[in-house]
Amino acid sequence: MTKITDFNDYELLDMAHEQKLERWGNIILIRPDPQIIWQKESTNLWNKANAIYKRSNTGGGAWTILKEVPSSWVVSYHDLKFNLKLMGFKHTGLFPETAYNWNLIRAKIKEAKRPVKVLNLFAYTGASTIASLKEGAEVVHVDSSKGMVEWAKENVKLNNLENASVHFIVDDVRKFVQREIRRGHKYDIILMDPPTFGRGSKKEVWSIDKDLESLLIDCISLLSSNPLLFIINSYSTYSSTIMENLLNLYLTPQFKGQVKSTELLIPMTNSNLSLPCGTSTTWTNN
């Protein structure tokens, strides 16, 4: 298990009755989380929230603004900066628990002491892209949502990385990877953060149950002769052992190295409670 304890601009203030109370910089939000099954609140801070996301009985939901919230605001993680916004489906554009991945990516790029090429799949608003660019890597950033790719471009500009080597691709991840195989392109680091279900840029349907294994096999064929790192994030019902099994079946026979998983946790302030936020399963070259 890995607890994210060094994200000063993010704080889990409390959690109860299927909701979490979070501080993002100076903005306090209440968002739903079905894992929080207990009813006992630990603080009296809930009335300080700027906004609350409420689910609808018919599906989806909406934000209720309680106090002023800017259209966008910036938070920092060490020397990384990110634009946040209230999105239609409860998100803010950042998953703070994945700071674990950002740190690992940066460490592996530094360790390599050579040019490194990174493929970021299901790349969302580009946090891992920014982390990679900060260490001088070349990055190919792929997401099926044009809006998310535009947001990632905003984050690149926010970090003064406009002159860095980054290629933004709006496409179905599976189709892009298959084209890269035909082109003979290779990568030293590949990371993927697949949703349980999603749609491609042309309404292609993605299902982690049906598509993950074949995508993983294709991605392994894109690794360079001396790869550094492979990451799979999982928020689905699959356990970390399943992800480890996939990497041990298809990756380690070719490249050896080490496979391990960690559960990503956000600790609650002034408490011994933590919120589980999925797992990160990694293959490393040593």
CATH 2.60.40.1180 domain extents, the chain:
7-70
- Can you tell me the distance from the alpha carbon of 133 to that of 136, in angstroms, rounded to the nearest whole number? 5
pLDDT at 205: 79
CATH code for 96-284? 3.40.50.150
**Mean pLDDT of the 165-191 span:** 97
CATH 3.40.50.150 domain extents, the chain:
96-284
Does the structure show a pLDDT above 90 at 57? no
pLDDT at 251: 96
Residue type for 228, please?
L
Confidence band, pLDDT 50/70/90 cuts, at residue 121: very high
Per the CB < 8 A criterion, the answer to whether 271 and 42 are in contact is yes
Architecture field, domain 7-70:
Sandwich (2.60)
Which residues are CB-neighbours of 91 under 8 A, at least 6 positions away? Answer: none
pLDDT at 195: 79
**Mean pLDDT of the 131-146 span:** 97
Confidence band, pLDDT 50/70/90 cuts, at residue 236: low
Does the structure show a pLDDT above 80 at 187? yes
**Mean pLDDT of the 51-79 span:** 93
The 10s digit of each residue's pLDDT in 243-275 is: 999 999 999 999 999 999 999 999 999 999 999
pLDDT at 200: 66
Strand partners, 264: 2
**Mean pLDDT of the 79-88 span:** 96
The 10s digit of each residue's pLDDT in 10-33 is: 999 999 999 999 999 999 999 999
Confidence band, pLDDT 50/70/90 cuts, at residue 201: low
- The DSSP line for 161-202 is -TTS-EEEEES-HHHHHHHHHHHT--BSEEEE---SEEE-TT
Confidence band, pLDDT 50/70/90 cuts, at residue 91: very high
**Mean pLDDT of the 47-53 span:** 97
Does the structure show a pLDDT above 70 at 62? yes
Mean pLDDT of the chain: 94
Please give the C-alpha separations between residue 15 and each of 35, 127, 202, 203, in angstroms, as whole numbers: 10, 25, 38, 36
